[in-house]
Amino acid sequence: MSSLTRSSLASSSQLLKQHLASPTNAYSTAAPRKRRVVFSGIQPTGVPHIGNHLGALSQWQSLVKEVSQQPAESRDALFFSVVGLHALTDPKRLKEERRDMFAVLLALGLDDAAGGAVVFHQDQVPEHAELAWYLNCVTPVNRLMRMTSWKSKLATIRNANSEEEVDDSMLQLGLLAYPVLQAADVLLYKTTHVPVGHDQAQHLELARDLAQSFNRSYPGTHHSGKGKGKGVFRVPEVMLTTHPRIQSLRNPLSKMSKSDPAPGGKILLTDSRASIQSKIKSAVTDSIPGVTWDPTNRPGIAALLQIHSGYSGDSVEDLATRFSGEKGIRELKESCAEAIDGALSRFRGEYERVRKEDGYLRERERDGARRAEEVARGVMKEVREVVGTD
């Protein structure tokens, strides 16, 4: 992992112009490639599990690798954030889990200088909360009430058996309005693309709508000084993850979750080789001999095939054919555990090293926050100008 030197950091205005500009070539007739600005965040819930990795973090790693190979003058800008303001719970627990998650992102190599990624804590950049307030002022309450996320989260908080057992009398403003903060997280960097899973597409649709609504309400002045401008924000596009949702190893009809009461239902990125082998060996499957790709009738087998495919790169169909013999389920489990361990062994060592270096972590946190705020400060200056609070 490389440390970014202070001398490599541009000024606030330079960074904002650089990460939004599109490269041009006076001798080329081809249209220049438009520079993308990618933002994605993850809540600090401690060490992620393999479902988080295959569903989101591995896509972030692919983006860093892709960007590192782009010419410097047309390189995409990447912003990856630990979104602590979305996880205000027990203070002591939050402090530890913020640090855990930040160490995970560093150990995954997301701060690679060549990839140009900015890895930072959202709660260390005050412009996130400020922009959320401005967006609150153009957000219809009934739009937030219609969103499904607050009911499901409230049901979890209240230990309710179903969403029907909760109503808005139990609802706190922070839970209702957190999609607006989520929109602010995205729009603050003039983001053009957001990697999300299918269950987050509704929230990004809100961010797109709020960008357009704010631009209509506060278009500003045209750069020529005459007439209306086009507004501050870009309308971000969805980058849906290509990997399917990973199911629990103990209940393949449910999504793998950190809150799963069964420890064997999830594999954390820091689990040892022995722990991975044990959890995969005890994964729920069925009594049908051999392996087939049949997600509807054999969800346990399908879950293992998807995990194996995610870490080996082989298609689920090829894997099903390979393990179609009489001892196929046992062989699939052994091979799946090897694929997971092989993919995560280097990460485990790096995470253990980074997590122990408190001074290094704090330095990287300050570095990331500074780089993010240099861009955020410039965007908020534009926001205040069009609103009239500058």
Q: Which residues are catalytic?
A: 153, 255, 258
Task: Report CA-CA distances (Å) from 33 to 21, 48, 76, 79, 137.
Answer: 10, 34, 10, 20, 35
Q: How many CA atoms lie within 13 A of 64 on its CB side?
A: 23
Element housing 385 (H / E)? helix 358-387
**For 158-179, b where at least 16 C-beta lie within 10 A, e where not — what string?**
eeeeeeeebeeeebeeebbbbb
First-to-last C-alpha distance (Å) of the chain: 40
Bridge partners of residue 79, in order along the sequence: 39, 118
Answer yes or no: are the C-beta atoms of 219 and 386 closer than 8 Å. Answer: yes
DSSP-assigned states of every residue in 257-304:
-TT-SSGGG--BTT--HHHHHHHHHT----SSSS----TTT-HHHHHH
Token digits of residue 98: 């913020």
**What's the CA gap between 199 and 204, in Å, rounded?**
10
**What's the CA gap between 139 and 187, in Å, rounded?**
14
